[in-house]
Amino acid sequence: AAGLPAMPKIYIINDPAPNAFATGRKPETASVAVTAGLLARLNRDELQGVIAHEISHILNRDILFVTLAGIMLGSIVLLSQVFLRGMFYSSMMGSRRRFSSGGKGGGQAQIVMLVVAIVVAILAPIMAYLLYFALSRRREYLADAGGARLTRYPEGLASALEKIANDPSPQLATVNKVTAPMYIANPFKKKKQRKLSDLTSTHPPISERVRILRNMTHGASFKDYSNAFAKVTHTKTVIPPTALTKEDIALREADVKAKKE
């Protein structure tokens, strides 16, 4: 129904912390993993919302996208470190004598260029990190929009995100900084959400994601998510213009069995 060429493999992680992620660089070889804690805490509508979110990641090829972005980020950081270390060792060996051979004016120009190069080498990794975090957050918004569209019930995903955020379980046992961006919610436990930390987070604030989903009161299309996103964040939409022209999608009622759970 989601348009995938093959059914993703499903894995259950024996961990009490509720969370989920998708993996696989192409839809044909994709997998979805959910924790035992997630299955124990969510009702049917909420679980459908989480799975739909992960399927949207697969449809958008986000795993490949984030992998390539990570490689580019790592390359920038590596080149910056090589340059700065090279300059440090060169200065230790007395390479500054080169500036005196070209005359005062030429030497000053070289010094200025060197200072500029050092500043760029320091700032480039910082900017690359911020761009990487921003792109990761954007992909999460897109997956939320796709999840709401697939289920036609944004409240299911919103409620699931709330339960994940408020769960008192300890942090996931196997999580690390490399795998953290893959999860539906940041698996690292934080006592407080701060504006500064939002800029350096791979995930948007869950409270904001929930508000956007609950503002989808007129439909479940990408256009409805775009309108809700603009209303909550007061910024431009993250939805591509081509997706906004797609058909309207009506909201559905909550699953009867989910209400009883």
Q: Which two tokens stand for residue 231?
A: 């209303």
Dist. CA 237–CA 235, nearest whole Å: 7
Dist. CA 38–CA 47, nearest whole Å: 8
The strand order across the sheet containing 9-13 reads 9-13, 31-35, 20-23
Q: What are the pLDDT digits (tens) for 148-207?
A: 999 999 999 999 999 999 999 888 888 887 788 889 999 886 655 455 567 788 899 999
Strand partners, 183: 21
Q: How many CB atoms lie within 10 A of CB 243?
A: 17
H/E stretch holding 141 reads helix 103-151
* pLDDT at residue 106, rounded to an integer: 54
Q: Angle between the 62-92 and 44-59 helix axes, to the nearest 10 degrees?
A: 60
CA 219 to chain centre: 25
* pLDDT at residue 156, rounded to an integer: 97
What's the one-letter identity of residue 253? Answer: E
Residue 100 CA: distances (Å) to CA of 30, 94, 103, 114, 115? 60, 12, 6, 14, 16
Phi-psi region of 235 (alpha: psi -120 to 50; beta: other; left: phi over 0): beta
- The conformation of residue 228, written as its DSSP 8-state character, comes to H
Catalytic annotation present for 54:
yes
Which residues are within 8 A (CB) of 3 and not within 5 positions of it... i.e. 6 or more apart? 59
Residues of the chain where predicted confidence (pLDDT) is lower than 50 = 96, 99-100, 102-103, 193
Q: Which one is catalytic: 28, 46, 54, 162?
A: 54
